[in-house]
Amino acid sequence: MTKLSVNVNKVATIRNARGGNMPNLIQVVKDCETYGADGITVHPRPDERHIRYKDVRDLKPVLSTEFNIEGNPQKSFVDLVCQNRPAQVTLVPDAHDAITSNSGWDTIKHASFLSEVIDEFQSKGIRVSIFVGTELEYIEGAKKVGADRIELYTEPYATDYPKDKENAVVPFVKAAQYAKSLGLGVNAGHDLSLDNLKWFSEHIPFLDEVSIGHALICEALYLGLEETIKRYKACLV
């Protein structure tokens, strides 16, 4: 069954808006695990506008599920990941001032850099996933640089889904099948929601993991965190 990793960046954003410790990030993470999350994802950025580097260090010893740390592998990020040794690191090519991740890696252009970083993470026993689009050459490039998995950037799917869900999922199915044929694991994330996740999951039944934050936290405002996680899990095959 596809695993659900809950991205808690938005929880940290709310906390940081007023200072203090409300909501309590550690407690929310524990609750997510209790309610059925298979993992927790964080994406610390250099400006620490949501998840802080300290949060990563505080979360590592209390998690009972898989820890996934996303980010652009600049030196401070690489050091943070190696010091805390999550189950998985997801490499994302976002600029320091990006509002959110908005593209995948060109794994051909950045092959040398990615290969070096991947070697360092894997030497610490950390599984490495690379954030990519549906371009087959970049998926092949992810294999060549030594990645264990890819994470498909699903914003184009989410954008096209309301207009034509049949065609929206096609390039992602092809990309996932190609990745699987190369021996890569397949994750997915970005703008997946209760509206569009089930269709995506049904068409890629061998999907290893989805990482979902923004939509899940927004939906939890109405449904409650426990019910929201339950509904997300029900969408996965």
Determine the residue type at 36. Answer: G
Catalytic residues: 43, 70, 190
Token representation of residue 143:
């294999």
Q: Work out the burial of residue 75: count CB atoms within 10 Å of its CB; fewer than 13 is exposed, 13-18 middle, 19 or more buried.
A: exposed
Q: Which residues contact 69 (CB under 8 A, 6 or more apart)?
A: 41, 42, 43, 44, 56, 80, 81, 84, 86, 88, 89, 90
Phi, psi (degrees; rounded to nearest 5) at 97? -105, 15
Q: What's the CA gap between 81 and 43, in Å, rounded? A: 11
- CA-to-CA distance for 130 and 85, rounded, in angstroms? 17
Pairing state between β 3-7 and 66-71: unpaired
Count of helix runs (H) and strand runs (E) in the chain: 11, 8
Token digits for 94? 């976002």
Taking alpha carbons only, the member of 25, 30, 19 closest to residue 44 is: 25
